[in-house]
Amino acid sequence: MNILHTPLFASSTQKALGVGFHNIGGKGVLRASDTATVNRVQFHYGERCGHVPLEAHNIRVLVDFSTNDIRMQMEYLSQLFGKDIVPITAEDFREEKKTTPEQIPLVVPYINVPETEVYLRDELGAETWGIPAQMTSILKNKADFYQLVDELGMDGFCLPDYKISSIYDVAKEAYTFLAWIEDVYKKVELAHIYPLGVMLRAAESDGNYGCCLVYENEAGIVVVQDGNAERAQSYSQWHEALAMSQQHLAATMNLQKETRIVISRYVDLLDSPGMSVVILNGQVESLRWNGQVQKKGSRACVGTSTYAPTRACLRRMQQQYEDQTAASFELFLRRTASKYGIDFACIRGVANVDILLPGELEERLQRQRKQPAMNYLAECNPRWTNYTDAIMTMLGVSRREQTISNMRAVIREGILAIDKYPLPGNVDPRNMREAVFEKDEILKQDGTRIICRMAKNPMGFIFAGNIQQAQQEVAALSTKLSTIQ
């Protein structure tokens, strides 16, 4: 059976109640983060939810609190989708469920970790869509994922040099690891060329919340916390830089739930694409590579896009490795399911892997270490991502069926999702959303779209079709609104 045209959330009968659940905070993605980090992320991303099962008769979005900001955003999306999307709390969900007691509602969470599965299945009595919770829990945890990759030992699925430490020892162990890296560089005569550095990531970190990039440059030793390059700090001593990193990481973690840190070697990169796949009916279909927008000086992803190689060597690498990456990822997912006794034919979900393409220095290092030429894995995201959620939003606004074939069409047409687009301080994001809505009504006649995802400052936008024109229109609107007193 060809799954390309199968609706992602299809069932034998139309669901009376279909619900999106953007559990990006403490009930899901950041399940082992501190309260301040969870609140900060939920505040910014709480309005975003493109992964709603639009085939259902009644469409809802499950939220902790139905705030005015969330209600206004869902009203905006309802106009675009041509369907009412209503935010509801768990209490509202239970009441609405009573109207159709003979049918189990479908809830599509952003990520289906065990805590989410228990909450939705046992407390709310819902059917869930996504990678099975036991499998998700292993793949999303960076320490468990790295150990699993090593255990399965698959060709073409490689990791950068790394070690796993406790948060309580991470500064000391990172310093020892750096000494080992420096020795490696000396042996291959790259010590004065290849910058020393490490990436420190809490095992349950996500979206670079709970990470520190520590590397040397001509100004000293730079520490980038949570991917925020604008607030990077410089130190003269490694011990001081690592101690401050340890302090920051500890502050972002819930140490009652997880204490491990993954220490990986700073790698000279050419690019860092992502790749998502959709799993249905025992089959896996790739959405191919996607671009990751990164700010200078940071490896945090602040946006995603249709992959557009900017250099000839990147086009060659895409042609050489894209299919191989998809095949390796599929095999890895199948072997993982088998290891944990999960029937692969029953999985319905999306998963993503981030890839590190070696730059010139790293390629030289691989050759001089007598290693085969290889790309690396950064992490696995067994969930929706900024990219796939944006694609689903575009299917909704263009009134297309939620199928893999149509997801690929959105990608071919061109898509760019930016999570944090800064506005002038005197511009109300809600006014900007209204102006964007009016401009989008005009642009869509020629296939170009501008969609607001989060009406906060900085704002979240999706640009589609003629992306350059869409960006220019948003810049012009921002300037115009800033001049209105």
Average pLDDT, the chain: 94
pLDDT band at 101 (very low <50, low <70, confident <90, very high): confident
pLDDT score, position 417: 96
Kindly report the pTM of this predicted structure.
Answer: 0.96
Q: Report the b/e string of 152-167 with b at 16+ CB within 10 A.
A: eeeebbbbbebbbbeb
Q: Mind listing the pLDDT tens digit for each residue in 354-394?
A: 999 999 999 999 999 999 999 999 999 999 999 999 999 99
Taking CA atoms, 313 is separated from 267, 296, 309, 357, in Å, by 18, 21, 8, 11
pLDDT tens-digit profile of 448-457? 999 999 999 9
Check residues 75 and 229 and name the one with the higher pLDDT: 75
Please compute, for residue 327, the number of CA atoms within 13 A of its CA located in the half-sphere on the CB side: 7
Q: Is the pLDDT assigned to residue 348 strictly greater than 90?
A: yes
Residue 299: pLDDT band with limits 50, 70, 90: low
Residue 86's SS3 state is strand
Average pLDDT over residues 134-142: 97
> Is the CB of residue 232 less than 8 Å from the CB of residue 219?
no
Residue 146 neighbours by CB distance under 10 Å? 21
38-72 burial, b at 16+ Cβ within 10 Å, e below that, comes to: bebbbebbbbbbbbbbbbbebbbbbbeebeebbee
Q: Output the pLDDT for position 12.
A: 79
Q: Give the bridge partners for 17, in sequence order.
A: 58
- At 303 the pLDDT is 84
Exposed (0-12), middle (13-18) or buried (19+): which is 83, by Cβ within 10 Å? middle
